[in-house]
Structure 1
Amino acid sequence: MNNLLDYTLEDLQNWMKENNEAKFRAKQIYDWIYKNVWNFDDMRNIPGSLKEKLKVNFNINIPKVVAKRESEKDGTVKNLLEMSDGNVIECVIMKYKYGNSICVSTQVGCRMGCKFCASTLGGRIRNLTAGEILSEVLVSQKLIGERISNIVLMGSGEPFDNYDNVMKFLELVNSDNGLNIGQRHITLSTCGIVPKIYEMADNEMQITLAISLHATTDEKRKSIMPIANKYSIAEILKACDYYVEKTKRRMTFEYSLVNGVNDSEKDAHELADLLKGRLCHVNLIPINEIKENNFKKSRKNNIERFEKVLRNYGIEVTVRREMGSDIDAACGQLRRNYIEKH
């Protein structure tokens, strides 16, 4: 049975035509879905005969919230969602002055193997469909009773390892007939799958592309990110330059600061040398510590020194505000703890 959330309005209009139903019914059904009505029987202006057809052909797969943690520090909400097949994923709602952001997962687990990330422990189970990723946003909006205006694809999974479903998801959330979240309000984070950076650049989308760099040399990057064995930093930066040229959008480079691993003043100068002159922004991320490794968060003075070095080179830089540090904030932590208990 098909998940109706995987369908664009045009897809559903085509289905109506193929099944001898009026085209305008597709828009009516779409409107109900985005009003948080996910049971065909509750769609009041839909004829009974069409409802029966829909029940035979479609599900509206909205996940069940099986665990919820809310930060007492900043109001961040972390949800553990159970999908229709019993797999669990995480999403995080972050509240800012400019609106609500959501960090969504794109896969159940992850196979990229980054050493500092809890999401990759246990590997990738499967990809999420476009509609399943969309359902994270829908269920979260209903939970908080407020609109979500910004999306980051930075939860469990590597978005470019699930490229087609992620592109369909971006189409769905950007649609005027759906959530209508503008591309400039969406950030996609990748560990650096080079061919997909070029492919996305050729699509000339206006989302923000964020590269998880986390090291300044290939040797050091290989020690913490297995993807570095396939794509060098030079190859990634060349692809990023192409992306900027095609889209005219500023790149973001994410750099997780690990105490004694990649947070020295020398590392800061090397990063600045790599990025100077590029249209980019650096997001320094004090890591969330997890029990499965010995990585420790950088000391405050090291973070401040690192930031200062980059600023002295004229590179725009921010230190990511630590959201939900009291609620298993590290990506994959809540899911892993749940699995261990069940």
Structure 2
Amino acid sequence: MVDIEKGIKAYSREGLAEFMKSAGMPAFRAKQIEQWLYQKGATSYDEMTNLSKGMREKLAEAAPLYSAEIDDRQVSCDGTRKYIVRYTDGCTAEMVAMPSGDRLTVCVSSQVGCAMACSFCATGKEGFTRNLLPGEIVEQVLIAQNDMGTRVSNVVIMGQGEPFLNYGNTLAALRFLNGKDGLNIGARHITVSTCGILDGIRAFGAEPEQFILAVSLHSAIQETRDTLMPRVKNQSLSALHRAIEEYQADCGRRVSLEYLLIKGFNDDDDHLQALIDFCEGISAHVNLLPLNNVPGSPFQPASKHRVDAFIRTLERAGVEATMRDSRGGDIAAACGQLKNQKR
């Protein structure tokens, strides 16, 4: 069986420098390798022409360069493209590329599968297989960029998996995406979405980069949220609120609160008032999400009337709110639909 942890894409930037040192190679070579992997998208050491043949052979033996491939590719009527990416150990994950004007946003996965089992999400029904390595996360962006033929401007870690349960690898990937020797995408154009892992939220606020945090809330009433998101039912909404307060005390950045509007479940006036109350004392933007079709799900999307009522009432209460445009629903590429489903 392939040992992916031995491969070069298992290393963070700091880990890459330490590996080069331990292998008796000059430290500046780590920077060159980062450029080849995460700026130029090299898929073989043979492409790294500014390294000697002997060094390339040594690297191939000590830290193999495993590359992913597109297992399936679908194109939506709105231009969105969904990819199933197959890694060298046979595991697959999905990611989505969404063009809009001169921007290209790529939604990537941080894990193969997901352990969170959210009741509205197709990925959660598939279970968890493994964490993705830093290079495997970045590789998704490179694959989309090459296939679309245009530079990626925005990245959202909102695909399969809970990124804060793979915190170290996710953060290492963010730094390759953001770094000048990598894809050089601005930190404020990179968003990480979490179900609300408290330790991860606190740690993220202490990081020096200006990455954006999105928290999947979906209800500010405890019982409703516990039903929708059973794997975080052991934490209270008050604890989540405190973690966001601590995050903002550390970094001063606004948080996006993701709220999936479900007909007859979390779209009534009581849930609306609870959401307004939750936003008190924190700087938050409420990102309302349309419910996308998931086979076997009992949930239905809220009506346009309720969506409009949420937006108006939130804004009257001083809370900025928008409705996210759903993309790629016809190819099961929209939020909550990712489950490695081929054509």
Shorter-chain TM-score tier: over 0.9
Q: What is the CA–CA distance in structure 1 between the aligned matches of 2:101 and 2:249, rounded to whole Å?
A: 32
Q: What is the CA–CA distance in structure 1 between the aligned matches of 2:10 and 2:287, rounded to whole Å?
A: 33
The match for 1:147 is 151
For residue 291 of structure 1, report the CA deviation from its aligned partner: 0.7
The 3 A distance-change label for structure 1 pair 265 and 112 is same
The 3 A distance-change label for structure 1 pair 260 and 279 is same
The reply to whether residue 108 of structure 1 matches residue 112 of structure 2 is yes
The 3 A distance-change label for structure 1 pair 14 and 216 is closer
Q: What is the CA–CA distance in structure 2 between the aligned matches of 1:247 and 1:77, rounded to whole Å?
A: 34
2:9·2:133 contact (CA, 8 Å) conserved in 1?
Answer: no
Query: Secondary structure of the residue that 2:274 maps to in structure 1?
Result: helix
The match for 2:136 is 132
Query: Secondary structure of the residue that 2:97 maps to in structure 1?
Result: strand
The 3 A distance-change label for structure 1 pair 193 and 20 is closer
The reply to whether residue 56 of structure 1 matches residue 51 of structure 2 is no
Aligned residue pair count:
338
CA deviations over 1:118-162 (Å, ceiling 9, x no partner): 111131111111111111112221111211121111111111111
CA deviations over 1:171-191 (Å, ceiling 9, x no partner): 222222111222211111111
- Percent of residue pairs bearing the same amino acid type: 38
Matches within 5 A, 1:1-342: 2-8=6-12, 11-33=15-37, 34-73=39-78, 75-97=79-101, 99-331=103-335, 333=337, 335-338=339-342
The 3 A distance-change label for structure 1 pair 177 and 231 is same
- Cα RMSD, aligned residues only: 2.0
The runs of 5 or more residues in structure 1 that have no matched partner are none
Query: Secondary structure of the residue that 2:293 maps to in structure 1?
Result: coil
Q: What is the CA–CA distance in structure 2 between the aligned matches of 1:135 and 1:164, rounded to whole Å?
A: 17
For residue 331 of structure 1, report the CA deviation from its aligned partner: 4.6
Query: Secondary structure of the residue that 2:40 maps to in structure 1?
Result: coil
Q: TM-score, normalised on structure 2? A: 0.92
**Structure 2 letter corresponding to 1:278:** I
The runs of 5 or more residues in structure 2 that have no matched partner are none
Q: TM-score, normalised on structure 1? A: 0.92
Q: What is the CA–CA distance in structure 1 between the aligned matches of 2:295 and 2:35, rounded to whole Å?
A: 45
Q: What is the CA–CA distance in structure 2 between the aligned matches of 1:189 and 1:30, rounded to whole Å?
A: 25
2:292·2:336 contact (CA, 8 Å) conserved in 1?
Answer: no
For residue 13 of structure 1, report the CA deviation from its aligned partner: 4.2
Q: What is the CA–CA distance in structure 1 between the aligned matches of 2:338 and 2:274, rounded to whole Å?
A: 35
